[in-house]
Amino acid sequence: MDNRLTFDLKNTDSLTTLYLIGKIDTLGARIFEKKIKEVLAQDIRNLKFNFKGVEYLSSSGLRIILYTKKEMQKRNPDSELIIEDPQKQVVDVLSMTGFLDEVVEVEYTGDKNISG
Partner 1 sequence: MGSNIKLKSKIKNWKILSQFIELFLQKYYCDKKFIYEFLLSCEEIFVNICLYAYKSSGGEISVDICVLENYIKIVFSDSGIKFDPTKFENKNINSKIYDRRPGGLGIFLVKKFMSSMKYARKENKNILVMTKKIGR
Residues near partner 1, by CB under 8 A = 2, 4, 25-27, 55-56, 58-60, 62-63, 66, 70, 88-89, 93, 96-99, 102-103, 116
Q: How far apart, in whole angstroms, are the C-alpha atoms of residue 85 and residue 95?
A: 14
Nearer to partner 1, 17 or 55 (CB): 55
Q: How far is CA 3 from the centre of its chain?
A: 18
Distance of CA 53 to the CA centre of its chain: 11
The Cα 93–Cα 88 span in angstroms is: 9
* Shortest distance (Å) from residue 113 CB to partner 1: 16
**Which is closer to partner 1, CB of 16 or CB of 28?**
28
> Which C-beta is closer to partner 1: that of 4 or that of 35?
4
Q: How far is the CB of 76 from partner 1 (least distance, A)?
A: 16
Instruction: Identify whether the C-beta of residue 41 lies closer than 8 Å to the C-beta of residue 76.
Output: no
Give the dihedral sign, CA 57/5/86/80.
positive
CB of 103 vs partner 1, minimal distance in Å: 6
